[in-house]
């Protein structure tokens, strides 16, 4: 199942620098691992914001919830999820 996910990150300004660096490093490693697995198919930064738009390809809602809630930055995110379905006029076979 494909999901359009928007993540708006709001890290507290008073978070200690070493803790922030650790969380960001773990976040990057986890996100890249999910991309290598094919579960996090696309990620785009939203210009001028600490936010991204992503496409996830996972089994179901439960798997998406599990993956998102395991993000190291999850406690600092506002997340919006929209399930996607193949459009009947789509010409690409690899978008389902």
Which CATH number do you get for residue 53?
3.30.70.1060
Any domain includes 94: no
Residues 42-82 pLDDT 10s: 999 999 999 999 999 999 999 999 999 999 999 999 999 99
pLDDT of residue 87 exceeding 90: no
The string of DSSP codes covering 25-84 is HHHHHHHHHHHHTTSEEEEEEPTTSSEEEEEEE-SSHHHHHHHHHTSTTGGGEEEEEEEE
User: Rounded CA gap, 74 and 32, in Å?
Assistant: 16
Residues 7-26 pLDDT 10s: 999 999 999 999 999 999 99
Tokens of 47: 């210009």
Any domain includes 35: yes
For 25, the domain range is 2-86
Any domain includes 57: yes
State pTM to two decimals: 0.90
Number of domains forming the structure of the chain: 1
User: Rounded CA gap, 7 and 54, in Å?
Assistant: 8
Give residue 96's pLDDT.
Answer: 60
User: Rounded CA gap, 5 and 84, in Å?
Assistant: 10
């Amino acid at each position: 199942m494909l999901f359009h996910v928007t993540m708006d990150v709001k890290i507290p300004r008073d978070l200690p620098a070493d803790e922030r660096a650790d969380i960001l490093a773990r976040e990057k490693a986890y996100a890249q691992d999910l991309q290598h697995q094919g579960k996090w198919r696309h990620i785009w930064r939203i210009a001028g914001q600490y936010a991204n738009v992503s496409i996830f390809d996972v089994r179901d809602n439960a798997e998406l919830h599990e993956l998102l809630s395991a993000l190291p930055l999850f406690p600092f995110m506002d997340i919006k999820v929209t399930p996607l379905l193949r459009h009947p006029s789509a010409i690409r076979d690899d978008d389902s």
